[in-house]
Structure 1
């Protein structure tokens, strides 16, 4: 297996010379080959805040507030001082007045101006299903202004201030559903069947609608193995297809004999999609691993597309995932998760692969300008820009030993990389043999615990 090969090669390398003490904060399975020498690691986080259940996180337009989905509800976090993030308010028991009880599994939210959309449950769960809109103009006292019950679970969403765009995967056609939050009515929907009714021949597990982002008149949908699609939502009651960005063909997916492996391993698994401010650059992140520990799968990265002409998307580059000693679901998972494209930068989270920042002003040549990783204590759900910093949500969703919460990091300057000092004091990126050995040990420990 590759894990044993890596262990052997690292043991051989360490036998040839003394191994220095690894830094306490970077704990990678990385030999530095994937990053140019001198790329800043950024040192320690600026600050942390423990927050049970942390999942998705979005920031306010001024970057001073983080809104966090916490499974049981939401939390508002003050990050005016990035070195001292503090809890402002929490709201739980959403839709508690429903006959089905409060909403469970709240994993996603979306902000537009001073309105915060919250949806759930993300996965099959008891309790009420639906959405809630909060007025967050006063950060310390968010007030519910709208609540709508739905007949579907909702994993992800987006919001334009009036219309909520939700993933409705409890329904057989896995549609996008648009809800008018002023009236509580569903005003429109779209599914792959609208493009070609023969998509019904493909296993629903290969074509769930996992994510949606809306900018202006366009919606961007991540349909797992069925790929990423762009829609015209200028009239939410009459949604139309603009283009398909990527994904396996309908015929190929209909012929898949083992959907369980297909939906967990590359090349499919379009998991998260977003665009930059002017919607000319699109990023698609895949979520994948090695299902059977047979070397056939592994983590996925983030592909960047030029969509200045949305009817003719052009692939520009792919940001590869951080390396791992154990690419299985229960190992050291370093696949892409949620991210943000803004101001010529890509802020990304990679579960136990840490957080990274890339300069994408030239998107065909993304350049890493920051990375931080501690696979033993962190598993990041998302990375989002704040004011003078960027933030990441640390989640225990995949590992109950993780202490969930909010991390703040220095926002690196976009320019030539500056040389930093590693743990042993030598100039470099701080990712040496000792750190790699530590991460391999972590992977072996998790494997043993799993078995």
Structure 2
């Protein structure tokens, strides 16, 4: 997972994207599309967040009151339908899109970019946090909603930054628009507008569709669970460090999918940020934030035993791992932003074949192997394609990038004789892009699928003509991609519960890991609820 301040300039005509996405499908009842013949139209790239103008008809009311104080009078709300505010659901978590001004060195507004944030309501209906900071003051009635949070300066705790959100309208019980003011030490730095949506499946869609319902749910006690791999009728769940509990490995016997049995958990002091997992034969490979790739022996699948870490030597952060045939690929953000390639023909004894730095911005976050090519999600450097036929001489073939991109995860397959990539970012509004990648030097976007732009997609798994997506607060989404230019949702299940006190209010919450190993089931990891097992559709 990553965090970064998106800076995406606005684009005219953004509304036309709605006609291109195919989003909003909620059932299997739609007509099955005809087989794809390979024809496609190149689509324009608008980025993840698109500036469509102010979200609300309000602004700071200059001179009327101090906009840095918790005062409704400081805002001009004359253009708002404030009578709708009384109908807002004042519970759970609302994710915000804030239209931040993009400032120059002299605080001149050069444009706008979008960032995500949140408002959280407590059990009694009162706001408890804004932008992750404790609420210091608030006012609410049938026509008023004002929330202010404060953050002390780290260098001078007696001074504060203040963040104030004032409601303008609630067009539905799950949507809020309004104005926002940011002050530092009592001085208004800038004002903006926002739009917020409640992170609950009780909004305008059901908890599930398409028959996707779990056969089991198993809690994970170590840290924050983020990924899963299934081998030998066992599910291996890895976790990163939580606020109070270290991460590590949790093992379940899933021979009875409806009744998984906890077998063991493993955590190493000082080395427990484990973000990715894969296996081959009797070897389990874990991506460690401190020691590279950790190798466990799973000849006894319920009791992994430590073997070694590779490549050894100085500390190295490996974020994700991938096995393709006799190759193990390890994506390392630091210290060198490199991709490591190992020979694992002897699975318990990985042999390093090469270490490669692409020389583009960002770092290798994840990858997918297809043929002799490795498709690397390279963070801020975009989506990059390399030739790995000779692991000692990796060649960059081309890529796909746009301003504000953070390439996070991808899956690649062959459709109508063409090589098609499904690419997902990890930013405000990040979604599924469909790319024609036969010529990596001239990659073309031919389709996309969007949900609410206050959330972000996370991981993707392609199984035949189904794309299974771990979509953070949007839960599990299953897309029919038989015609990749028109992805069509056929099923979903929402795991996120915004009233659960364990649920976080940040962007990167909910479903993170997903696997479809071909055993008739789908394995999903939710950061709060743990391991879900669903029947494969």
Map 1:176-191; keep pairs closer than 5 Å: 176-181=293-298, 182=300, 184-191=304-311
Map 1:25-424; keep pairs closer than 5 Å: 41-46=21-26, 83-92=210-219, 94=220, 102-112=221-231, 114-120=233-239, 122-123=240-241, 125-127=243-245, 129-145=247-263, 147-151=265-269, 152-153=271-272, 154-160=274-280, 162-170=282-290, 174-181=291-298, 182=300, 184-191=304-311, 193=313, 200=314, 207-225=316-334, 226=336, 227-236=338-347, 238-247=349-358, 267-276=361-370, 278=371, 280-287=372-379, 299-321=380-402, 323=403, 327=404, 334-343=405-414, 344-351=419-426, 352-363=429-440, 365-374=442-451, 376-386=453-463, 388-395=465-472, 403-413=473-483
Deviation at 1:111, TM superposition (A): 2.8
Deviation at 1:85, TM superposition (A): 2.4
Q: Could you list the runs of 5+ residues in structure 1 that have no partner in the other structure?
A: 14-18, 28-37, 53-80, 95-101, 194-199, 249-265, 288-298, 328-333, 396-402, 419-445, 447-451
Q: Structure 1 CA distance, aligned partners of 2:263 and 2:243?
A: 25
Q: Structure 2 CA distance, aligned partners of 1:4 and 1:379?
A: 16
User: Which structure's relative contact order is higher, taking Cα pairs within 8 Å and 6+ residues apart?
Assistant: 1
Q: Structure 1 CA distance, aligned partners of 2:246 and 2:432?
A: 34
Cα distance per residue 1:14-69 (max 9 Å; x no partner): xxxxx89x47xx57xxxxxxxxxx9x533434559xxx9xxxxxxxxxxxxxxxxx
Deviation at 1:367, TM superposition (A): 3.5
- The TM-score normalised by the length of structure 1 is 0.56
Q: Structure 2 CA distance, aligned partners of 1:342 and 1:138?
A: 31
- The TM-score normalised by the length of structure 2 is 0.48
Q: Residue 407 of structure 2: SS of its match in structure 1?
A: coil
Deviation at 1:106, TM superposition (A): 0.6
Q: Residue 338 of structure 1: SS of its match in structure 2?
A: strand
More helix by share: 1
Q: Residue 284 of structure 1: SS of its match in structure 2?
A: strand
| Cα RMSD after superposing both structures | 3.7
Q: How many residues align?
A: 293
Deviation at 1:189, TM superposition (A): 1.7
Q: Structure 2 CA distance, aligned partners of 1:110 and 1:370?
A: 29
Cα distance per residue 1:299-342 (max 9 Å; x no partner): 33111112223332222221224x5xxx4xxxxxx411122233
More strand by share: 2
The farther-off stretch of 359-368 and 224-233 is: 359-368
Q: Structure 2 CA distance, aligned partners of 1:318 and 1:208?
A: 24
Q: Structure 1 CA distance, aligned partners of 2:246 and 2:430?
A: 34
